[in-house]
Structure 1
Amino acid sequence: MKKIELGKSGLEVPAIALGCMSMNKRTKAEAEKVISNAIENGVNFFDHADIYGKGVSEEIFAHAFPSEVRREDIIIQSKTGIRDGYYDFSKEHIITSAEDSLRRLKTDYLDVFLLHRPDALMEPEEVAEAFSELHKSGKVRHFGVSNHNSMQIELLQKYMKQDIVTNQLQLSVTDSGMMNQGLYVNTLYEQASDRDGSILDYSRLNDITIQAWSPFRHGFFEGLFVDNEDYPALNTELQQLADKYNVNKSAIAVAWILRHPAKIQTIIGTMTPSRLTNIVEASNVELTRQEWYKLWQTAGNKLL
C-alpha cells in the first residue's frame, strides 16, 4: 500500500482509507471481517463521524475490533459539528462530541478529529480553545476539517495552535471541480468558477492533505458512475484501463485520484471485504498523463 504523510502531522498513512459510515448496518462478526481484511490489505486508517449511524457505527467498530491488533498500529479519525437540523462548532459541543466518540470507540485518543461541515456561526476562538483542551489532555492528537474552503481554514488557523492537517472533500473523476477550476483559468466556461478558494492549490501550498470522499459517485449522492449507462464513454475507458493494469474499474477510478501530485488520500466506504481487496490494487497503478486526461474527458469534461 502506498503511504503518504498526513499534512504536517508526521503520521504516515495509507493512500486509501476505510470510511465507516455504513458499519452500523453490519453485525459484529461482519464488521470484524471488514476491519481485519482492511488491515491485511494495508488499510489501517479508519474514518468515522459522530453522526454515522447516530454513533452506532463507532460502537460496532469498537466491539468488532480484532483483539490481536494493537491500537497503536491503526489510525482512527472522527468528525463533529453536524447536529439535528443545525451545525454546532461551540466549544462545549466539540469537546463533548470528542469524548462521546472516545467512549463509543473504546479508545483513549483519536489520531485525527475533524470539523464536519462549516458552521456559519463559528467563533474560531472557541474552536481553538476546544482543540487546545483536547490536545493538551491527550484525547486528540491532530486536527482537520471537512468540506471547508481556503478562507474558512485561514480563519481557523489564525487562532489555532495546532496545524490543520487534512480537509475531507468530495472528489471523483465525474466531480472534479477543484481540478477543473484550475484547468479553465481565464475562460468564460462555467468550470472556471472558483467556488472553494482554489482549495487544491491552497492545500498544496499549506501542506494540508485532501481526503477524497465519494470517489465513485456523481453529483451529491446521486448514484455511482461505475457501470452506469449514463456514462458509456467513461465506463469504456475505465474498462480498457482495467484490462491493461489487470484491476477492476473501481480501482482505476481511485488510481485517477491517486495519480494527482497533491498526494490525495481516498476514503472508500465499502463494507464488502472482497470489494475493498480489489479496490486497493489502485495503489499499484500509475496512470500516464495521457490516460489521466482521457478519463477526465470521457467523464464529460472538455480540454481547451
Structure 2
Amino acid sequence: MKRIKMGCTTLSIPAMALGIMRMNQKSVPEAQVAIQAAYDAGINFIDSADIYGGGKSEEIFGQAFSQMQIKREEMFIQSKTGIVPGKRYDFSKEHILHSVDEILERMQLDYLDSLVLHRPDALMDPEEVAEAFDQLQAAGKVRFFGVSNFDTAQFKLLQSCLSQRLMFNQLQFSLKHTGMIDFGMHMNMVDKPSVDRDSQFLDYARLHKVTVQAWSPFQYGMFEGTFIDNDGFPKLNQELQKLADKYEVGKNAIAAAWILRYPANIQMLVGSMNPQHIRDSAKGAKIRLTRQEWYDLYLAAGNYLP
C-alpha cells in the first residue's frame, strides 16, 4: 500500500482508509472479514462517524475489532462528530466532548487517533472548539484533529484559534465529482465548469500541507449510486475496463488510481464492506496512470477541456 505523509507531520498513513458507514448492515463476523481484508491490503486506517447507522456501525466495529488479533497501535482510528441528524449541526464544546465519550464507548477504545468535525456548523465559535480540542488532547482521548467539507475561509478561521494543526479535510472527489479541479482548467472562461464552488481548497491544501480525504470515490451525485458497472455511464465504464485489462485489476482499482494520481496528498476513503471490492480498490494505490490515461478517464466521465 502506498503511504503518504499525514498533514504537516512526518507520520506516514496509507493512501487509502476503510470507511465504515455501512458496517451497521453487517454481522460482527462479516465486519471482521472486511477489517481483515483492508488490513491485509495495507489499509490500517479506519474512518467512522458518530451518525453512521445511528451509532450501530461503531458498535459493530467495536465488537469486531476487540475480538481480532490486530493490535490497537497498529491501527489509525478516526471518527467524526457535529451532525445531529435532522436537527442541527453542533460544534459546541459540550456536544463535542460528549460525542467523543460516546464514540469511545461504542468502539471500545481508550482514544481516537483523529477526530474530524463533520460538515460546517454556521454557529461555530472557534474559541469554543479550541477549548474542546485542548481538553480532549490533554485527557489523551484524541491525538489529532481535522474537518470535513470546510471551504478555505472556514478552515483558516478555525485554524487561527487552535493550538493544534488541522490535519485533514474530507471532501467529495471522484471521476464523477470533479468540480474542485474543473474550474482551474477553465480559468478565465464563462462556462459552467469555470465556477469555483470549493474555494480552491485543493491548492490551499498543497500549499499548507493538509491531507485531503476523498469520500464517495466511486459515487455519482451525492448518494445516487456507483458509476462502476452502471449502464448510465457507458463511455466511462468502457475506459475503466480498457485500463483494468491493461493493468490486470478491476475497475475499482482504476477509479482509485485516478484519484491518487492527482498530486495533492490525497487519502481515498473506501466505503465498501465487500472484501473483494476492498482488495481490488487497494490495488489502485500501486498503479500510476500516465498523464494521457488520467485525462482519457476525465474526458470519458463527461468532462471537457476548453
Question: TM-score, structure 1 length as denominator?
Answer: 0.98
* Partner SS for 1:56: helix
**Partner residue in 2 for 1:30:** 30
Q: Are residues 1:286 and 2:278 paired? A: no
Q: Work out the CA distance in 1 between the residues paired with 2:283 and 2:68.
A: 27
Q: Work out the CA distance in 2 between the residues paired with 1:241 and 1:252.
A: 7
Superposition pairs for residues 201-240 of structure 1, below 5 Å? Answer: 201-240=203-242
Q: Is the 8 A contact 2:175 2:297 kept in 1?
A: yes
Superposition pairs for residues 80-95 of structure 1, below 5 Å? Answer: 80-84=81-85, 85-95=87-97
Of the three residues 118, 131, 135, the one matched with 1:133 is 135
Q: Is the 8 A contact 2:179 2:198 kept in 1?
A: no
Of stretches 19-28 and 188-197 in structure 1, the one that deviates more from structure 2 is 188-197
Q: Work out the CA distance in 2 between the residues paired with 1:57 and 1:123.
A: 29
Q: Work out the CA distance in 1 between the residues paired with 2:167 and 2:109.
A: 21
Superposition pairs for residues 152-171 of structure 1, below 5 Å? Answer: 152-171=154-173
* Partner SS for 1:46: strand
**Shift, 1:20, TM fit:** 0.2
Of the three residues 165, 174, 177, the one matched with 2:176 is 174
Q: Is the 8 A contact 1:17 1:43 kept in 2?
A: yes
* Partner SS for 1:159: coil
**Shift, 1:10, TM fit:** 3.6
* Partner SS for 2:225: coil
* Partner SS for 2:190: coil
**Shift, 1:249, TM fit:** 0.8
**Shift, 1:263, TM fit:** 2.1
Superposition pairs for residues 51-200 of structure 1, below 5 Å? Answer: 51-65=51-65, 66-84=67-85, 85-200=87-202
Q: Specify every segment of 5 or more residues in structure 1 that has no aligned partner in the other structure, as ranges.
A: none
Q: Work out the CA distance in 2 between the residues paired with 1:10 and 1:88.
A: 32
- Give the alignment's Cα RMSD to 1 decimal: 0.9
Listed one character per residue, the Cα deviations across residues 87-138 of structure 1 (whole Å, up to 9, x for unaligned) are 0000100111111111111111100100001001111111111011111111
Identity of aligned residues (%): 53
**Shift, 1:6, TM fit:** 1.5
Q: Is the 8 A contact 1:9 1:142 kept in 2?
A: no
Q: Is the 8 A contact 2:62 2:107 kept in 1?
A: yes
* Partner SS for 2:219: coil
Q: Work out the CA distance in 1 between the residues paired with 2:230 and 2:299.
A: 16
**Shift, 1:182, TM fit:** 1.1
Q: Work out the CA distance in 1 between the residues paired with 2:12 and 2:96.
A: 26
- The amino acid of 1:17's aligned partner reads A
Count, aligned residues: 304
Q: Work out the CA distance in 1 between the residues paired with 2:44 and 2:299.
A: 33
* Partner SS for 1:228: coil
Report the CA distance shift for 1:135/1:235 in structure 2 as closer, same or farther (over 3 A).
same
Q: Specify every segment of 5 or more residues in structure 2 that has no aligned partner in the other structure, as ranges.
A: none
* Partner SS for 1:64: helix
